[in-house]
């Protein structure tokens, strides 16, 4: 299964703080899917990958070491350009543009989009980490 990760609004609550449980969530995802976790964030776009440098000041050193396992993705305008719809996937993001919604619907993959709303529930990443750790097929 491919895992696609956004940063702002998902792993970072704001420019100066990691989201609650970001380290635990990343550890659960990367340990479960070390070969198939991808950045899907403006910090990794158009061939440039700045994801790790954005996260370094905010995460635990043990988590930073795991980030080298997360792969880059290629996209320009829509994040869905980077998704391999021929593979099972989960996409964790805090926002979904209308065009991206249409593409997910066309591929019958809307259920693969995991909305992360840290304002509504600051414990979202903790809950998601627990689900990932316990799930057999995720």
Sorted by where each starts, the structural domains of the chain and their CATH numbers stand as 2-134 (3.40.50)
Secondary structure letter of residue 73 according to DSSP: -
Average pLDDT of the chain is: 94
Helix H segments across 1-138? 22-32, 51-55, 61-66, 98-106, 124-134
Higher pLDDT, 15 or 30: 30
pLDDT at residue 44 greater than cutoff 70: yes
Measured CA angle at 117 (ends 114, 120), to 5 deg: 135
pTM for the structure as a whole? 0.94
pLDDT at 8: 96
Higher pLDDT, 133 or 67: 67
Residues 54-89 have pLDDT tens digits of 999 999 999 999 999 999 998 989 999 999 999 999
pLDDT at 33: 95
């Amino acid at each position: 299964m491919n895992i696609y990760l956004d940063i702002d609004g998902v792993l970072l609550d704001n420019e100066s703080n990691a989201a609650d449980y970001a380290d635990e969530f990343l550890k659960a995802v990367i340990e479960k899917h070390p070969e198939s976790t991808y950045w899907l964030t403006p910090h990794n776009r158009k061939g440039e990958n700045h994801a790790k440098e954005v996260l370094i000041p905010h995460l635990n050193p043990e988590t930073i070491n795991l980030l080298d396992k997360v792969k880059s993705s290629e996209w320009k305008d829509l994040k869905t350009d980077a998704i391999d719809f021929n593979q099972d996937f989960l996409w964790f993001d805090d926002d979904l543009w209308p065009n991206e919604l249409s593409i997910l619907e066309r591929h019958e993959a809307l259920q693969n989009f995991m909305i992360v709303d840290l304002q509504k529930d600051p414990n979202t990443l903790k809950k998601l980490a627990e689900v990932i750790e316990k799930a057999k097929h995720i």
